[in-house]
Amino acid sequence: MSSEKLTEVKTCKTPLLQSDSRKRLRVMFVSETFWISIAGIFGALGVIIGAYGEHGLPPDFPAQRKKVFDVANRYQMLHSLALLAVPLAGRPNIVGTLLSVGMIIFCGTCYFHALTGNEHIIRYTPIGGTTLIVGWLSFVL
């Protein structure tokens, strides 16, 4: 073999494998920072909503609806913290999506019911709760 051919063989790279590896690393990195950002957003909103629940609701606000509001806020804060662990999961996008959607449905319907007194929206709350349960279970995937 000539010297040119040896140099060519030595410098031969497999761009498909390198490109695939880079994409995988980039997707993983974006996924980690994305879910941590989402956790921060949900956490900040939880603090704001909790402050409103403590300081913004009228003194004559119905006790039962206040309890529902507080439960929603507690679940939002708990699951915001859980989102911080999403990058450690085997399937972070599945876990993060399930926890986020579950939180939006569960907490959102509870907040809406608490603030408006609308009884019809509460029928969707178990869907959010079930989604949260599946999100927690998906950590084992």
89-123 pLDDT per residue, tens: 999 999 999 999 999 999 999 999 999 999 999 99
- Residue 76: count of CB within 10 angstroms of its CB: 24
State residue 29's pLDDT score: 55
State residue 32's pLDDT score: 76
2 phi/psi in degrees, rounded to 5: -80, 165
Flag residues of the chain having pLDDT under 50.
Answer: 9, 12, 14, 16-17
State residue 17's pLDDT score: 47
State residue 16's pLDDT score: 47
CA 1 to chain centre: 57
State residue 66's pLDDT score: 98
